[in-house]
Amino acid sequence: MNIWFRQHRFALGAALSHVRKAPGSFLFNVLVVAVALALPFAGVTLLDNVRPLSEELSVDPELSLFLKADTPRDQAQALAPQLQRILHGSRAKVTFVPREQALASLKEKSGLTDVIETLGDNPLPDSYVMKLEGFTSRADAARVDGIAEQMRALPGVDSVQVDSAWVKRLAALLGVLRLALLLLAVTLGVVVIAVVFNTIRLQVLTQREEIAVSKLLGATDNFIHRPFYYTGALLGLCAGTVALGAVTLALRPLNTAIAEFARLYASEFQLAPLPPLGMAGLLAISAGLGLVGAMLSVQRHLARLN
């Protein structure tokens, strides 16, 4: 085990020595790879911030039934048994929302208390909110539409609307964004591998004589390969660090603009950097891409030299 650690310590030292010999070239390659990594890293950060919001939103269908403004309270509350009969056989939670409660909720969430008070009388009607569970297929969507039609025929009902359709559209949109980000990451990952491949190729060619002498002295292929592997992994790791740093720094001006926009909707949404575990995972991926590029390059070009 000590021999194994000693060999890898020597390989890491050799890789750092190669970097010190040509720091400008190494930094330029780090910058190129960091630019390629910055876009998928930014996408991952954005999706990580949006994911908690999408998880809080229910994708189960939700029906909102609004009564006519002149419907007496006792008649409004008497609709509950009829709604239960229409929903018979469905798992549903029926909640009666008095007009006073609806107005108080509107004042709290909208931040337009002064404007609402100028209206005088409460303009909101009594309503029912029915949250359905287990309605996910197209056939279930048709059932929801049928239930809504039956409710519209009840006496005193002004309108019935399905409130969760937009949530399903949002979930579908996030799915498309995840797929697009995955395809983009794969494409740019190939770019990173190509850049590292070319970098290591140039190193192999410049050290061709040194490699030949090492082989004459009995050096094994693994001994010769390891410094190049470490160079590729180090290039990927440094580029990933630069890309993450750039994305994190970009969040500050973005949050300034987002704060102004979110304030208009009485929200305090802010973009946050990835958690430490997420950052470590992205750095591991970037180092892995560098290692893959180095392995492909070394195995190809050293085989030619042999």
pLDDT per residue rounded down to tens, the chain (306 residues) = 666 677 768 777 777 787 788 788 888 889 989 998 998 998 888 888 877 765 555 556 778 888 888 888 888 888 888 888 888 766 778 888 888 887 777 766 655 555 556 555 777 788 888 887 765 544 556 677 788 888 888 888 888 887 656 556 666 777 787 888 888 888 888 888 888 888 888 777 777 777 767 667 666 767 777 888 888 899 999 999 999 999 999 888 888 888 777 776 666 778 888 889 989 999 999 999 999 998 888 887 666 655
The answer to whether the Cα torsion of 18, 22, 23, 28 is positive or negative is: negative
Q: Give me the residue label for tokens 């890293």.
A: 41
Q: Give me the residue label for tokens 């400008």.
A: 24
Residue 119 pLDDT: 59
Cβ count near 204 (within 10 Å): 21
What is the distance, to the nearest Å, from the Cα of residue 183 to the centroid of all Cα atoms in its chain? Answer: 14
| Pair 33, 236: CB distance under 8 Å | yes
The whole-model pTM stands at 0.63
Residue 244 pLDDT: 92
Nearest CA-CA partner of 135 in 160, 154, 158, 163: 163
Q: Give the E-state strand segments of the chain in sequence order.
A: 62-67, 92-97, 127-132, 157-162
Residue 29 pLDDT: 87
Mention every residue, 6+ apart, whose C-beta is less than 8 A from residue 71.
125, 126, 156
Residue 97 pLDDT: 87
